[in-house]
Amino acid sequence: MNLRRLALVWCTGVLVGLPVMAQTDPGVRGGAAGAGGALSSVAADNPSGILRFFNDGQTRFQKVDAVPDGLGPRYNSRSCALCHAQPAVGGSAPASNPQVTDANANGATNALPPFISPTGPVREARFIYFTDALGNPITSSPNGGVEDLFTIAGRTDAGGCNAATIQQPNFASAIAHNNVIFRIPTPVFGSGLLEMLDETTLLALQASKAGNPYGIAGTFNRNGNDGTISRFGWKAQNKSLWLFSGEAYNVEMGVSNEVFTQERPTPEEDRMTGLPSPCRINPIPEDHTNFGTSKAGTDSDAVQFAFFMRLLAPPVPSTTTPGGSASITNGSALFASIGCTTCHNAQVTDPTQSKTTPSLNSPAPAMYTDLEIHHMGSGLADNVSQGTAGGDQFRTAPLWGLGQRIFFLHDGRTTDLLAAISAHSSSGSEANTVKLNFDALSTSQKQDVLNFLRSL
């Protein structure tokens, strides 16, 4: 730029012709995965030999199932780790969507739904309402159940289960009628620390922010049987990691187990006809306790999945990347000052004593959640209720590990942190005031916040 152009200055001091710098999402933090390993006490293989349980659970978590293992008759993917893969086993949706391969593995004859793409997020689909014979939503009849993407029809190991006996859900009609919503995998790093948080700790945290100036007033989803706080899943609908793993094994992979003992039909089949008998291939439960073996091998897959998640260490943040330590430190302070930590609470001190491993007895590192469900407004509402969580209520997502995630929000609608932040604001959202506070920051301050988030 020449001196003549540099001299073109308004009286206000604004330089004409110079580009205006804008804040940008730094993108997925590079380098080694800051997650995926065992808790420190587990890695040290303490006297209980618990590392063997972690390793066994991790191996099973990565196993690709076939029909003789229990896969199907309906499924979304063939392995836990195929979907929980970014940036390491136990994470969220990877850059290359495994569901594209899952659709036709071993000869399966599935059509790829239009919302599944090679570089898009791993997705689970749910119909908001049940439909009539023409595919029209019956708005007086809420559905909300998972509609598995694929069937085992055509697979070489599927026996008599074929396309004449079982079909994929009518996703085209659901899309045309705006009757489908999506969910992506939640990361499970540090899950044991979340599971062991005592209720008194969570209730004290909730009480500490009563009367906050941001209009935030979350509540807890609670287990329908014992009334205690549930904490896993996008709406905190599951109480424990065993329940979480058992449900996912049944819903996402079609494997019946000792928590969910029957083969799973679609919600429509469950109402009308049930699963066709040629597709019920294995005795149930397909995943079960292995009597006559020893140590970790005795446990079912669902139990060992839970052990693996329980013993996974939380992600390790960066202190310098992106933007440098000064930017990250300033972004952290700004994140708190504008009200984000009212929900994304930085740290919880918990006196709970765990018999599983000493690492679970220590105060939890910064997890950035209150485990409450909050009204997130019309823009994020999926109109699906789970437990006491309504159609626009979602659990405060833990932010640890966010720096290495690719897809954001419950449906994976964006890969851009700025877009994810913007989506927090809509009619009825508890985050509206905090979003306005973010908007009021300077460009450099916003960049510091983004750098801080990508450092996690």
| Structural contact between residues 233 and 395, judged by C-beta atoms closer than 8 angstroms | yes
What was the pLDDT predicted at 430? 98
127 backbone dihedrals φ, ψ, rounded to 5°: -90, 135
Q: Which residues contact 350 (CB under 8 A, 6 or more apart)?
A: 196, 197, 198, 201, 363, 364
Residues in the chain: 456
The count of C-alpha atoms lying within 13 angstroms of the C-alpha of 159, restricted to the half-sphere facing its C-beta, is: 15
Indicate the residue type of 399. Answer: L
Tokens (6 digits) for 168: 């994929």
DSSP reduced 3-state for 1: coil
- C-alpha distance across the termini of the chain, in Å: 38
Query: Cα 310–308–50 angle (5° rounding)?
Result: 85
Task: Please give the Cα distance from 321 to 257 (Å, whole number).
Answer: 43
Q: Evaluate the omega torsion of the peptide bond into residue 363 and state whether it is cis, within 30 degrees of 0.
A: no
DSSP reduced 3-state for 298: helix
| Structural contact between residues 386 and 239, judged by C-beta atoms closer than 8 angstroms | no
Task: Please give the Cα distance from 331 to 320 (Å, whole number).
Answer: 12
| Structural contact between residues 142 and 385, judged by C-beta atoms closer than 8 angstroms | yes
Task: Please give the Cα distance from 411 to 376 (Å, whole number).
Answer: 14
What was the pLDDT predicted at 44? 86
Tokens (6 digits) for 312: 């996974």
Tokens (6 digits) for 237: 């609908």
168 backbone dihedrals φ, ψ, rounded to 5°: -70, 155
One pLDDT digit (tens) per residue for the chain, 456 residues:
443 333 333 333 333 343 446 999 999 999 999 999 999 989 887 656 889 999 999 999 999 999 999 999 999 999 999 999 999 999 999 999 999 999 999 999 999 999 999 999 999 999 999 999 888 999 999 999 999 999 999 999 999 999 999 999 999 999 999 999 999 999 999 999 999 999 999 999 999 999 999 999 999 999 999 999 999 999 999 999 999 999 999 999 999 999 999 999 999 999 888 899 999 999 999 999 999 887 788 999 999 999 999 999 999 999 999 999 999 999 999 999 999 999 999 877 787 788 888 888 877 789 999 999 999 999 999 999 999 999 999 999 999 999 999 999 999 999 999 999 999 999 999 999 999 999 999 999 999 999 999 999
Task: Please give the Cα distance from 193 to 243 (Å, whole number).
Answer: 16
Task: Please give the Cα distance from 335 to 437 (Å, whole number).
Answer: 10
Tokens (6 digits) for 174: 């659901």
DSSP reduced 3-state for 244: helix
Residue 395 backbone class (left: φ over 0; alpha: ψ -120 to 50; beta: rest): beta
Q: Which residues contact 226 (CB under 8 A, 6 or more apart)?
A: none
